[in-house]
């Protein structure tokens, strides 16, 4: 298992992180324990959860595993999140000092720990001043409740604003960003990735397999059925499958992943995970498995390194779509003219 610094921090985490959103819902507690055992045995040391995963049950399962595995618990880097509703009250959500204080304390209680290594704000909150959120997080570091903090689902300007606001007030800056990132969803490369590279922030991609699409489980002109997320919910399956299935780009990307996988004699999931793991700014890729068997397949990506030719093939098939301006040809030409002293 490869290890990398967690953003610009001094803490090292494995390049594959075990996500726990399925724990207590799609995965039983026994399956969840097995996946954490298998992940630890493979050398992984990074667990990611959140207070809203299965209404707190995910954190409780992780907490019981940590208590039952003290040796493994000591080497695990533990991450959780707060922001989304945890109750019916008007203040049971958001990034206010009031809600985050209660949410963090509740997470620590469910996890059975006195601190977490990484506390992440789960999404932007337009109603709470960013200063209030960042000051709370800096205070939480001073109090020893968290070691570092990160953000999730932020835009490029929001990341940059948080970084420079923290710097101006001499508060601790964010070290990570958790975004959706995979071969089917590369739009963060326009603004978000450059903002993170500029600030030394590490990416923790979620949905690296595009909701299962990049494993090859969905087929052309065939509505999902059976034991898949879309197949088990027919109404959602038709709604979610249709738009992506009608996009020729989807199948071009899937075909490219399949070709690389067949050439390597490995699975499509491993190829898709290896690709995103080695993108600029990526610290660790969050694996979201429902069963130990799925996790075992995903963990095989730890030993796969794509060649430059394979990477170029996947890059070309999945290149994010852009218009003429500001990211396309007109925007590039305009930037070149300004660099050369013209208008």
CA 142 to chain centre: 26
* Cα distance between residue 276 and residue 148, in whole Å: 24
- Cβ atoms of 89 and 60 within 8 Å: the answer is no
Nearest to 192 by CA among 157, 220, 219: 157
Cβ count within 10 A of residue 343: 5
**Beta carbons of 22 and 289 less than 8 angstroms apart:** yes
Q: How far apart are CA 275 and CA 210, in angstroms?
A: 13
Residues in the chain: 343
Report the distance separating Cα 27 and Cα 33, nearest Å: 10
Contacts of 260 (CB under 8 A, 6+ apart): 271, 306, 310, 313, 314
- C-beta of residue 177 within 8 angstroms of C-beta of residue 201: yes
CA angle 263, 2, 309 (to 5 degrees): 30
Active-site amino acid positions: 53
Q: In which element (H, E) is residue 65 found?
A: helix 57-68
Pairing of strands 3-5, 12-14: antiparallel
Can you say whether the dihedral through the CA atoms of 123, 128, 131, 133 is positive or negative? negative
DSSP label at residue 206: B
The two tokens of residue 214 are 């990049």
SS3 286: strand
């Amino acid at each position: 298992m490869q290890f990398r610094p967690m953003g610009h921090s001094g803490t090292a985490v494995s390049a594959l992180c075990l996500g726990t959103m399925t724990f207590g819902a799609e995965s039983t507690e026994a399956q969840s324990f097995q996946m954490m055992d298998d992940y630890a045995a493979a050398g992984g040391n990074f667990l990611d959860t959140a207070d809203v995963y299965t209404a707190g049950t995910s954190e409780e399962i992780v907490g019981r595993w940590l208590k039952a595995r003290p040796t493994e618990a000591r080497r695990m880097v533990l991450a959780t999140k707060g922001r989304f509703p945890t109750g019916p009250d008007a203040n049971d959500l958001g990034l206010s000092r009031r809600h985050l204080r209660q949410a963090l304390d509740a997470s620590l209680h469910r996890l059975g720990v006195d601190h977490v290594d990484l506390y992440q704000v789960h999404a932007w909150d337009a109603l709470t001043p960013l200063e209030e959120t960042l000051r709370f997080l800096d205070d939480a570091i001073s109090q020893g409740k968290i070691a570092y903090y990160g953000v999730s689902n932020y835009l490029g300007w929001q990341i940059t604003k948080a970084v420079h606001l923290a710097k101006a007030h001499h508060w601790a800056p964010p070290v990570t960003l958790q975004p959706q990132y995979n071969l089917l969803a590369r739009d963060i490369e326009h603004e978000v990735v450059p903002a993170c590279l500029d600030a030394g922030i590490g990416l923790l991609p979620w949905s690296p397999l595009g909701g299962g699409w990049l494993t090859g489980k969905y087929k052309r002109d065939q509505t999902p059925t059976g034991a898949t997320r879309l197949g088990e919910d027919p109404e959602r399956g038709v709604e979610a499958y249709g738009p992506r299935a009608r996009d020729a780009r989807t199948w071009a990307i899937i075909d490219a992943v399949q070709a690389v996988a067949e050439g390597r004699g490995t699975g499509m999931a491993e190829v898709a995970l290896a690709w995103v793991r080695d993108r600029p700014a990526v610290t660790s890729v969050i694996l979201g498995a429902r069963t130990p068997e799925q996790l075992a397949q995903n963990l095989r990506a730890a030993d796969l390194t794509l060649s430059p030719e394979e990477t170029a093939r996947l890059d070309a098939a999945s290149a994010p779509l852009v218009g003429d301006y500001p990211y396309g040809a007109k925007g590039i030409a305009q930037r070149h003219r300004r660099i050369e002293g013209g208008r």
